[in-house]
Structure 1
Amino acid sequence: MTTAPPEQDGRLIRLPALTHRGRVETRAVETVHGVDGSALAVLSLCPDLLVAQAVQAQRRAPAPPPRERAARLAEAARRFRTDVLGGLSFAEHCDHVTRVSGHNRSLTEQLSRAVADAIEQAPERADQARPNGSARAWSDIGRRSGSGVWTRRGETLGAVLSGNLPTIQNGWLQALALGYRVAVRPSRREPFTAYRVVEALRAAGFRDTDAVYLPSAHTGATALLRRADLGLVYGGDDVKTRYEGSATIKVGGPGRSKTLVDRAHVLPEAVESVVEAVVESVTALSGVACVNTTAVFVEGDHTRFAADLAAALTARARARQTTPEHLGPRVTDDTARAIVDHLRRRAAHARPEIPLDQVATPHPAGGVVLGPAVFTVDDPRDDVLGAELPFPCVWIAPWSRADGLGPLRESLVVNAISDDRGLITDLLGDPTIQNVHVNVPTVHSDGRLPHEGFVGDFLMRNKAVVSA
C-alpha cells in the first residue's frame, strides 16, 4: 500500500504532524538539514494547545483488544519494510536517515530493519517483564481462584525521543503493544524514523488516536510529559537530574558503559582477541550509543593495552573514514569543531594514544567524520573516565582488586572480561550497575534483554484479582 505523500516544496519533503485528527501542517515550521548542510525536509512544529488536545483525545479513546494490537503491529512491521510511506520507499527512507544522523549507510539500514523487528516483536518483548505470578488478563483466571493481573499504570504515554539511533523507538512501541495510547515527540534532528513508524501503524489499521506524532520545540516536550499519564525521555545528566525521583517519568541515559579486563586476559596469548572485543564495544553503532564502552579498566599494563587498542582502532578506521562506510559518525563542521574543542579541554591531563589532529576527518560528501580516539590516565578514579562523547572515544585506566568496584559504579553496562565468578557476583550485586556482561561486548543486545530494566517494569503494575 502507498500512503498519500506529503506535499513537496521543491525537493524538500514536508513532514506534517500526525495528530488525533489526521495530518496537520502548522504555521511554525523547522527545516531539517543533512550533515552536509543540505536542506532535506520541512517539519511542522505543534503548539502546546495541539499537544494538549491530542493527549486528551487519546485518553478518551479505549485501548484496542490485545490480539488486534498484535495483528496490527505485525502488519505495520511489514508495511514499514515494504511500503512507500510519507512519500518515501524504505531505501529512500534509509538514505534520508543516513544524511541527517551521520551513521554510515549499512548501519542505518541495519538499524532501520531492527525497528521493523521491534514493531513486530513488541508484544513478545513487552511480555518479558510480566511476573510469573501474574496473568495477562483477569479473564485468564479460573473460578474460585486468585492471581496477580498485569495492568497498565495509566492510559497515555508521552515519548520524547533523541536522535542518536533509529531504535530509540523500541520502548514506546512496547507501550503501544500493552494498550497505551502513545504521543511521540520525535527528534528534530532525525524526525524520519518516528514519522515512518506512525505512518506504518496507521496504514496497518491503528486509529489516529492510538499513536500521534507531535514535533515541537523544547517547551512542547515539557508540555507533553506534563499531560501524559507516563513519560519516556532520553538524555544526559541534565535530563536525568531534572526528572530524578519522578514516579511517572522514566529517563533513558546516560550510559557510561565500561569494560573490565582482568590480569589473565592481558597475557600475550589472550590479549589480541580481547582487544578486538573492546574495538567492537567502542565502535559499534558509530560509537554514539549509551551501550558503547567509554572506559576500559585493565588489571595489568594498561598503557600497553591502550597502545594495542589504539593500533587496532586505527587499522579498523583506516581507508574508511572518507567513504560511505565510515566508522565514526559524520557531523557538521561546526559540531565537529565544538566536540574536538571540548575533547581538548576535557583530556588536557590525559595522554592521547592517537594524535588529536587525527580525530576529525573531512568527508568528501560534506561534514566531518569523528574518531577514533584513545586516552590513557593513571588513576582509576579520574573524573575523566565518566566522560561520554558522541563518537568512538575511550579512556583507559589501571585497575586492581584493591580498587574494588568503585570505579565501575554508575554504569549502564559492565563487560567483565574475566572468569572470576566472585567478581561477577559482586558486579551483579552492585545496585548502581544496571547490566553485567561476561566476556560479551557491551553493545550486545537481542531486543529481549532488559536495557535500563524492562520497559514493562515502568509501564505496568500487578493487581490481585480473586474470582468467586
Structure 2
Amino acid sequence: MGSPVYIDALGPTGPYRSRERLPLTSLSGARIGEISQVPALYVRRTLAAMRGAPVVPAADRFAALEKAADLFLTATIGGLDPEEYIRLVSTASGVPLGVVRQSVDWVADVLRSQRDTVELAMPRGAVGDWRDSRTLDGSAVWTRRGDLFAVHAAGNTPAVHGLWPEALALGYKVALRPSTREPFTAYRLVSALREAGFPPLALTLLPTDYAAADVIIAEADYAMVYGGQDVIDKYAANPHVLPQGPGRSKILVTADVDWREKIDIIAGSVSHLGGTACTCATAVLVEGDPEPLARALAEKLHEIPSLPADHPDAILTVQPTESVVEVDRYLRKVSADARPFLGGGTIVDELPSGGSVLRPAVHLVDSSTAPQLDVELPFPCVWVGPWRPEDGIAPLRDTLVLTAMTTRTDLVDALLDEPSITNVYLGDNPTTWLRPGIPHDGYLGEFLMRTKGVIRTGV
C-alpha cells in the first residue's frame, strides 16, 4: 500500500477534511487511511445550500451522467487510477477482485442508461417537460415530489451505487453518506459526476456519524437507506424513506421441472457476488423430496475454493477472522434443528495472508414455514425445504426476487399478484440477473416522482 488514502467530505465549496476522522484499515488490520466525520452543523449548512441551488437542466444531466461513466471506469481520481481503486476496494472490504470489477462495470452501465431508464419509469400518458407540444391540448407532466434526496449507502459491493444515480437523472440534488467499510466507490463516483459536469451543490458526499446521519434523513425530502431488518422496522412508517434491507430472495422448483438440469443456476444464485447481494438466493423450496437437491447444491458450493480477496479467481468474501467467527456463531444459533449438508462444522476458513473466508453453508429444513427460511446472512448461506401446492404463496412472501422454475401458468399469475414479491423471474434465470432499465425494487422514479395535469395557452 502506498500513500494513505483520505476520504474527505465533498461539500458545496469542494473537499473538506474534518478534525474528527476515523481510521480506514485493510483486512489484516493495517491502517490504510482516514475518513472524515463531518459534524451536524456542516450537514445542515450543506443541505440548506443545496436547496437554494438551481436544478441542472435535463440535457446537461444526461450528458454528465454519460461522461461520468467513462471517468468512473478510466480516470485517475483522488490519486488512484482504476486498477489501484479496484484493488483498494478489495483490500479494504474483502470483496473478491472479480466481484469488484463486475460491480464497477455495472455502475458505469447504469450511468449510461439513465436517458432511457427515466422514460421507462414515466407513465405512458405523461411527458417529461411542460414545453412538450402535447400540453397545448392538455397532458400529464412527470414532476419531482421534492428537491433533495439523501442516500445512506451500504458497503457490500460497489454495485449498491447503481440505484441512486436515477435520482440525479430525474433532477434531484443528492446528498450521499458513504459506508465507512467501503467509502472509496462513493468518493470516486461523486468525484467523477462532479468532474463530468454536476455542480457541487447538486451532489455532495457527507461522511459522518450516526447522529448527523439522522439529520441528513430528517432534512432531506426523500431518502434511501440500506441496512438490516432493524432499518426496515425503523422507517416502515415513514413514507419519505425507501429502506433497502434484506432481500430474502428465493427459488421455487415445482415437480414438473427437473432440478438436476438447473443445479448450476441454483448454485450461481446462491454464490454470485460472494453471496452478499440482496438478490442472492437464501432459500430454495422444492415440490417433492428436497434432500437430493440440498445434497447436490452442497457438493457444488463445496467446490468453490478459499482464496484471498485479491486473487483473480476468488468468489467468496473475506472478512476479519473475529467477524467471521461471530457470523459462524450466529449461524449455529439460528440453524437450530435444521440439518447441515455444508458448513455444519464451521464456515470459518482462516487465510495465511490475514482474515478468513466465509465458506458456504447449506441446511435442510423440514417445513415451508421453518423460521430459518427468513434468515439472510452476508455469505452463501441457503436453506432448502419442501413446498406443496396446498402451501400456496405464503412461504414465498416478502421476497425481493423469486425465481420460479415451473411451467404452471396459474402459479405464475398468483406470484405476480402477490404484493410482497417484488420481482418474478421464470425458468433458467438466476435470482441475481440484472440489467439497466429493469426495476430492482420498483423504479426509483415511482418513489420520487408524480404526475401533474397541465394545459397551456400562449406560453
* Class of the TM-score when normalised by the shorter of the 2 chains: over 0.9
Asked if residue 343 in structure 1 is aligned to residue 331 in structure 2, the reply is yes
Residue 461 in structure 1 maps to residue 450 in structure 2: yes
> Secondary structure of 1:312's match?
helix
Query: What is the alpha-carbon root mean square deviation over aligned residues?
Result: 1.5
- Matched residues in 2 for 1:132 and 1:248: separation? 25
8 Å CA contact 2:294–2:384 kept in 1: the answer is yes
Greater mean alpha carbon deviation, residues 317-326 or residues 196-205: 317-326
| Closer, same or farther: CA 26–319 of 1 in aligned 2, 3 Å | closer
Q: Deviations over 1:73-94 (max 9, x none)?
A: 1111111111110110011100
Q: 1:280 aligns with which of 268, 282, 290?
A: 268
Higher mean C-alpha deviation, range 352-361 or range 226-235: 352-361
2:439 to 450, 459, 463: 450
Q: Cα distance, 1:12 vs. partner?
A: 1.3
**Alignment-mate amino acid for residue 122 of structure 1:** Q
Matches within 5 A, 1:23-102: 23-102=15-94
Q: Deviations over 1:388-420 (max 9, x none)?
A: 000000000011111111111111111101111
| Structure 2 counterparts to residues 310-321 of structure 1, below 5 A | 310-315=298-303, 317-318=304-305, 320=307
Q: 2:373 aligns with which of 382, 385, 402?
A: 385
Matched, 1:353 2:345: no
Q: Distance in 2 between matches of 1:430 and 1:40?
A: 47
Cα 1:335–1:465 change in 2 (3 A) is same
Separation in 2, partners of 1:16, 1:394: 39
The structural deviation recorded for 1:462 is: 0.5
Q: Do 1:127 and 1:456's aligned partners in 2 also have CA atoms closer than 8 Å? A: no
Amino acid at match of 2:281: T
Output aligned runs, 1:187-336, within 5 Å.
187-265=179-257, 270-315=258-303, 317-318=304-305, 320=307, 324=311, 325-336=313-324
Contact kept in structure 2, 1:261 and 1:298, CA below 8 Å: yes
Distance in 2, Cα, partners of 1:203 & 1:322: 31
Shift in CA distance, 323/302, structure 1 to aligned 2, threshold 3 Å: farther
Alpha-carbon distance in 1 for matches of 2:165, 2:274: 24
TM-aligned CA deviation for residue 205 of structure 1: 2.1
With normalisation by structure 1, the TM-score equals 0.94
Measured in 2, the distance between the counterparts of 1:213 and 1:349 equals 46
Q: Report the CA distance between 1:328 and its aligned residue.
A: 1.7
1:155 — aligned with what? 147
- Corresponding position: 1:398 with 2:390: no
For residues 445 and 24 of structure 1, the distance between their equivalents in structure 2, rounded to whole angstroms, comes to: 36
5 Å-filtered alignment, 1:90-169, equals 90-142=82-134, 144-169=136-161
Deviation at 1:221?
Answer: 1.5
| Code of the aligned partner of 2:196 | A
1:287 and 1:390 in contact (8 A); partners too = yes
Query: Cα distance 1:323–1:233, how it changes in 2: closer, same or farther (>3 A)?
Result: closer
> Does the aligned pair in 2 maintain the 1:322–1:364 contact within 8 Å?
no
Please state if 1:20 is matched with 2:12: yes
TM-score if structure 2 supplies the norm length?
A: 0.96
* Aligned residue identity for 1:92: E
Q: What is the CA distance between 1:304 and its match in structure 2?
A: 1.1
Contact kept, 8 Å, 2:253 with 2:259, in 1: the verdict is no
Q: Distance in 2 between matches of 1:465 and 1:370?
A: 55
Which residue does 1:417 correspond to in 2? Answer: 405
Give CA-to-partner distance per residue, 1:333-376, whole Å, 9 cap, x none: 11101100000011121111014335221123211111211000
Q: 1:143 to 1:96 in 2, by over 3 A?
A: closer
Q: 1:321–1:361: 8 Å Cα contact kept in structure 2?
A: no
User: Does the 8 Å contact 2:309/2:316 carry over to 1?
Assistant: no
User: Could you tell me how far apart the structure 2 residues matched to 1:81 and 1:400 are?
Assistant: 48
Given that residues 98 and 314 in structure 2 are in contact (C-alpha distance below 8 angstroms), is that contact kept between their aligned partners in structure 1?
A: no
Alignment-mate amino acid for residue 463 of structure 1: K
Contact 1:142 1:467 in 2 (8 A): no
State how many pairs are aligned.
455
Change in CA separation of 1:77 and 1:418 when aligned onto 2, cut-off 3 Å: same
Partner of 1:5: none
Read off the aligned partner of 2:452 and give its amino acid letter.
K
Q: Distance in 2 between matches of 1:71 and 1:441?
A: 33
How far 1:154 sits from its partner (Å)? 0.7
TM-superposed CA distance for 1:144, in Å, is: 4.0
